[in-house]
Structure 1
Amino acid sequence: MSKALERRAKLRESLIEAAERRIAAGGLAGLKTRDLARDISIANGAVYNLVEDVDELILRVGSHTLARLDAALTAAEGDGPPSPRETLVRIAVAYCDFAAENLELWRALFEHRMAPGKPVPEWAVSEQMDLFRHIYQPLATLFPERTQDELGVTARSLFSAVHGMVLLGLEQKLIAVPVEALREEIAAIVRAMVDGLTGKSDWTSKRM
């Protein structure tokens, strides 16, 4: 790599890191290219020599966030007995914890909207969908008779339930729920959903 390309790559990474800090501190609404340019000591217009537009910049920050979320869910998978039921509980609670600890960056994953008529790039969609493997794998163990498509629907449904609880529970208004209480509620809901899906009594499913 030439020195010019190496310098550009370093500046690009610095820009993404600066945007990550800005979003973490003030959410997407606080993200301004002039502030980012000042943060990394470049001209305002030079930002667009490093990324195509603000959409790409936000997606690159999201890529960093998803990588850290992936690591957190992977750690949760191995942090307990190999029961598929309890693995689903652990990754759901880990998702809640990650959201609480990285609130603005987590919100940005879902609040960002591409410019009208501009699709989300394939690489970004792929990164998002790859995280579903954490839900898909224990479900495949629980329901070996289901097709991949059926498991995919169940995985998305389970995620939607947990995500909705986290989203509402962490809302900093009247409906906010203390994180510890939210963790307990999420664990209870995931266990109840799995027990309902498997059609087994609670005492039986706890042995899985």
Structure 2
Amino acid sequence: MPKLLPNLRQTLIEKAIELSRTGGLSGLKLRDLARECNIALGTLYNYYPTKDSLVLDVVQQFWQNCFHQKSFPEGDVLVKLDWLYAVMKESVDEFSSEFLHAASGLSPAALEEAKSRELHAQKHLTHQLALALKTSFPDETDDQLDERAAFLFYSLLGCLENRGYRYESLRRWLESVLTPLNNDEIQ
């Protein structure tokens, strides 16, 4: 039976991210990763039988590092969206420059798994946004907040994916829509 070391999976992911920052994930060699972690190549294969499986976990860890350990700032909806858009833009830019090429080389099965993990991360982030919006929309149900958060999240994502659609335009529109709501609450 192979020897499994505690926390080695996390160590492998972190070291793979570190190594990929210099040579990209596409240039990452499992043999180099094993050497950097002071383990035998066979031990690495006990955790990651293919490079695709490692790349999937590295990409997932990257997105978790971007979003899971952060919390929304205090303030109104626009403050929260400004912050979220900035974090998303920074993360997407970093992902594009460091990981996208390697992710595009995944096998069809691994690409499907990557899409599933991406959808899970988006749902998590959308749920966090819904929780953050609760203070701005206290009378809305959880379903209404989830729907509002999904609309806002995918609108922000659209700004990032479509270079012709700018966040500033979305923000001005949201400000015009939300201002009457805020004024109604005051009266």
Give the CA RMSD over aligned residues: 4.2
Deviation, 1:87, is: 1.3
**8 Å contact 2:20–2:28 — kept in the other structure?**
yes
Check 1:31–1:165 CA distance in 2 against 1; reply closer, same or farther (3 A cut): farther
Q: 1:87 aligns with which of 80, 93, 96?
A: 80
CA distance in 1, matches of 2:88, 2:40: 38
Check 1:107–1:159 CA distance in 2 against 1; reply closer, same or farther (3 A cut): farther
Q: 1:38 aligns with which of 35, 38, 41?
A: 35
Q: Tell me the amino acid that sits aligned with residue 87 of structure 1.
A: K
Deviation, 1:20, is: 1.0
Deviation, 1:15, is: 1.9
Identify unmatched segments of 5+ residues in structure 2.
none
Structural mapping, 1:1-208, within 5 Å = 4-5=3-4, 8-71=5-68, 73-74=70-71, 77-78=72-73, 81-100=74-93, 104=97, 107=100, 111=104, 113=106, 115-116=108-109, 120=113, 124=117, 126-139=120-133, 141-142=136-137, 144-145=139-140, 148=143, 151-167=145-161, 186=167, 188-195=168-175, 198=178, 200=180
Q: Tell me the amino acid that sits aligned with residue 157 of structure 2.
A: H
Deviation, 1:47, is: 2.3
The C-alpha deviation readout for 1:44-67, integer Å capped at 9, x for no partner, is 443221224333322322332233
Check 1:107–1:156 CA distance in 2 against 1; reply closer, same or farther (3 A cut): farther
**8 Å contact 1:23–1:105 — kept in the other structure?**
yes
Deviation, 1:83, is: 0.9
**8 Å contact 2:130–2:149 — kept in the other structure?**
yes
The alignment's TM-score, normalised by the length of structure 2, stands at 0.65
**Identity over aligned pairs, percent:** 22
CA distance in 2, matches of 1:157, 1:69: 21
Deviation, 1:21, is: 1.9
Check 1:35–1:109 CA distance in 2 against 1; reply closer, same or farther (3 A cut): closer
Identify unmatched segments of 5+ residues in structure 1.
170-174, 176-184
Q: How many residues get paired?
A: 180
**8 Å contact 1:84–1:142 — kept in the other structure?**
no
The alignment's TM-score, normalised by the length of structure 1, stands at 0.60
**8 Å contact 1:135–1:155 — kept in the other structure?**
yes
